[in-house]
Structure 1
C-alpha cells in the first residue's frame, strides 16, 4: 500500500472519506483544500485516531499560486508522494446558456487543467522511483450527456485510460473513479436540500462504500473504477441506449 497520499478537495465529501480510510490503513497524508479550519479539524481527528502524520496545505486551486504550492509539494523528492488523488471540484446548474461563462471556465479549470498539472508534477518523481498511483475522481456522468460537467468528467476518464496504458509498465497507474449519486455535501453546495435532488433512493451510494471499492480498484491497477454493481450496469446500458434518452436522464439530479 502507499506511504504518503496527497488529496485535493480533502476538507469534506469524498476527499475527507479518502483521508479517513487511507489514515486507517496507516498512510501519511497531505490534505489540500481552501478551508483551513476544516482541514485542521480533520487532521487533528486523523492524527489522534490513527497516529499518522498529516500535513495541511490550505490553498485555492483556482489560484495559480495555489496550484504552484501543490505542484512544489508533489515535486519534493525529499518527501515523496506515492498516491495523488485529484478530487477537488464543484458543479454548476445544467442551464449552460444562463450560467456565467467565467464560472464555466473555472469549472473546466478545476476539473481538467488542475488535475492535468498536478498529474504532470506527480509523474516526474513517480516514474523515477518506478512506482506510484494517481486517482482522478470523475463521475458516471462521464458516460451520460450532462452539460459541461459530463464533458469535463469524460476528459478525465479518457486521459486516465491513456495515462494508465502508457505508464503502468513503468510502475505508475492512473485510475478514473466514476461514482454515481453519492451522499456527500456536493448537492447541498448547489443549493439542493437533502431529499430534493429528484433522484430515486436506490441510485444513492454511501461515500464509505465508494471510496473502499475504488481503492481496491486502484490497487488492482484499473484504468476506470465504477463503484457498485448498479452503476456498472448503468454504464453498460449507456453504450446501447439512444443519446437523446440519455440526455433526458442526465437532466435528473439538479
Structure 2
C-alpha cells in the first residue's frame, strides 16, 4: 500500500460523499490535502478533523466549478503554489434526471461545465508539472453511466462517457512517463448525489463511498495501474453487458431502469 507520505493531493467535490472519503483515506496514508468545494463550512470542518486526526496539512479552496471564473481562479492558485501536486482527484460532479425537453438550459450548461470542462481544465493545468517530474497521478471519477446511453439522464451519461474516454486516452499518452491517469466508474453510491438527481436515478444496490475509494486507491497501488476500473462486481458485469447486446436493446433497457418511478 502506498503511503503518499508527504505528498500533496487536490480533491474536488471534497465536502461530502466520495470526495470526503478520498480525503479521509489519503490523510490516513499521510498525504497533505487541498480540498475544493462550494461549501466552505463543510470543507473547514473536514480539514480541521483530518489535521487533528492524522497530523497532515489540509488547505481549503472554495470554488463553484460551474462558474468559469472560479475555475480560472482555482487554476491560477494551484499553478502558483510552490508545493508540487502529486495527485489530482477530479471528483466534483452532479446529475439531472428527466426528459431533455424539460431540462433547464442553464442547469444543463452547469452540468456540462462541472462534469466535463472543469475536469479537462484542471487536468491540463496540473499535468505538465507531473510530466516534468516524471511522477504523479490523475484520478477522474466517471460512472457506470459512461458505458451506455441513459435516456432521461442523457446529459449526465454523455458527460461521464467523456470522462471515461478522456482519461483512458490520457493513460495512453502518459504510459512510460511515470505519471498515470485512472478513470474510476462507480455505480449507485450512498452519497448526497441522489439528493440532486432524485431517487429515480438510482439503479442497483448502492456501495459506500469508502468502497469506491478503496477500489481506486487499490488500483493506484498496483505496479501498472489500468486505464479504468469499475467499482463493485455487479457494476463491472453490467458495464460489460452492452458490448454483447444490440444498441437499441441496451437503450431500451436503460430507459426502463431510470425512467421516472
Q: Decide whether the 8 Å contact of 2:188 with 2:202 is kept in 1.
A: no
**For 2:91 and 2:236, how far apart are their aligned partners in 1?**
21
Shift of 1:54: 0.2
Shift of 1:199: 3.6
Aligned to 1:156: 163
User: Which contiguous aligned blocks of 4+ residues in structure 1 show a shift greater than 6 angstroms?
Assistant: none
Unaligned segments of structure 1, at least 5 residues = none
RMSD, matched Cα? 1.7
SS at match of 2:84: coil
Aligned to 2:84: 80
**For 1:37 and 1:249, how far apart are their aligned partners in 2?**
41
**For 1:175 and 1:210, how far apart are their aligned partners in 2?**
13
The alignment status of 1:179 with 2:186, answered yes or no, reads yes
Aligned to 2:137: 133
**For 1:191 and 1:240, how far apart are their aligned partners in 2?**
30
Q: How does 1:30-41 map to 2 (within 5 A)?
A: 30-41=34-45
> With structure 2 as the length reference, what TM-score do the two structures score?
0.90
Shift of 1:57: 0.4
Q: Deviations over 1:177-207 (max 9, x none)?
A: 1001111110022344xxx76644xx32111
Q: Deviations over 1:145-189 (max 9, x none)?
A: 111111110111111111011112111111111001111110022
Aligned to 1:145: 149
> With structure 1 as the length reference, what TM-score do the two structures score?
0.92
> What count of residue pairs does the alignment treat as equivalent?
249
Q: How does 1:76-225 map to 2 (within 5 A)?
A: 76=80, 78-146=82-150, 147-192=154-199, 199-200=203-204, 203-220=205-222, 221-225=225-229
Unaligned segments of structure 2, at least 5 residues = none
